[in-house]
Amino acid sequence: MPSLFDPIRIGGFTAANRIFMAPLTRGRATRDHVPMPLMADYYAQRAGAGLIISEATGISREGSGFPCAPGIWTDAQVQGWKPVTAAVHAAGGRIALQLWHMGRLVHPSFTGGARPVSSSATIAPGDAYTDDLGKQPNAQARPMTTDDIRRLLDDYALASRNAIAAGFDGVQIHAANGYLIDQFLRDNCNFRDDAYGGSVPNRIRLLVEITQRVVDTVGAERTGVRLSPNGEVQGVNDSHPEILFPAAAAALDGLDVAYLALREPLRDGTFGKANSPPVHPAIRKVFRGALILNSDYTLSEAQAALDAGQADAIAFGRAFISNPDLPRRFAEHIPLAPGNMATWYSKGAQGYTDYPDAPEERLASPTPAAAAV
């Protein structure tokens, strides 16, 4: 079986290793969602990952509801991303853009007072982030009409086309973690009685239509999808994930997408709880593309997943924040540097680009780093 350090073909390119960087929202763009120059340094520092999946990036004003998260719907945003992708490529890395629509989690302050959109007229639990008002209660969503859905498909096409123009190697459709597509997928949030609600084939319809549109725009070899077949996340859940998510994976397999990334906790984590048996074994049986797992893995757990044939690569998230040279630390068994949660979403270089690589002269420890990542 392959090692984490072996190359892998992902669609139209070869990744140098199977240690991928998971998407990590960091809030370092402008208020207009334009990437800042500092982001080029941040991503280039982490170019040793086999594939970087960018932070979640808004496909439209309607879908963007996190302060200073980047977007990809304007020319200024495209131009802001170009130095980032160029820096990653100059450092020998590969990078894909994660396409994001937050659905009901967008506060009206981001959209000129307009209500957020979702599958149904629901309210997400907890509070929404805003630019100037701090955290505010989530607003009741407006159910998307068929005209809204047609417009949404156009937004995904534009965003994916812009991503390639900005220099990305591909795109990843964010269909996980309780955001818009997940709000259509799961039955505790989708109460529609039209072609997009009710049965599993209907609830996966929006995911399939979006993916088809992206594939038609940039090619299947440049397209990946992220799902989260877990328990409740941001108020979204499903009564039968063991049926829903393999059906979604089978449909995506029919579109020949390059890879499928799964956020499925081994234990209680940032998104979701491990309160049901994992679904990825069933997904593995119906999806022929590369399968990437992301779930607070340790180094030894990650290699064991590859050894067992459960995955083709493993994506690591928080460990990449404080360990820009994570693949090297794994290879040389160098202990991982701790991170500082207080600076995850702060502004500027602190806690962003100021984490150093491990010193070259440091002697390798006799056992692999074991911290969950």
Mind telling me the catalytic residues?
Answer: 179
Distance between CA atoms of 157 and 177, rounded to whole angstroms? 22
Residue 351: which of 314, 315, 311, 324 has the closest Cα? 324
Distance between CA atoms of 265 and 195, rounded to whole angstroms? 31
Please classify residue 332 by burial: count the beta carbons closer than 10 Å to its beta carbon, then call 0-12 exposed, 13-18 middle and 19+ buried: middle
Distance between CA atoms of 196 and 287, rounded to whole angstroms? 23
Distance between CA atoms of 253 and 212, rounded to whole angstroms? 11
Distance between CA atoms of 217 and 201, rounded to whole angstroms? 24
Distance between CA atoms of 177 and 180, rounded to whole angstroms? 9
Query: Can you list the positions of beta strands (E) in the chain?
Result: 8-10, 13-15, 19-21, 52-58, 95-100, 117-118, 127-128, 136-137, 142-143, 170-174, 223-227, 259-263, 290-294, 313-316
Strands 13-15 and 8-10 turn out to be antiparallel
User: For residue 110, what are the CA distances in angstroms to 12, 67, 89, 132, 319?
Assistant: 36, 9, 33, 10, 31
Q: Which residues make beta-bridge pairs with 224?
A: 172, 259
Residue 42: which of 371, 360, 358, 348 has the closest Cα? 348
DSSP code per residue over 318-370:
HHHHH-TTHHHHHHHTPPPPP--GGGSS-SSSTTTT-PPPPPTTPPPPSS---
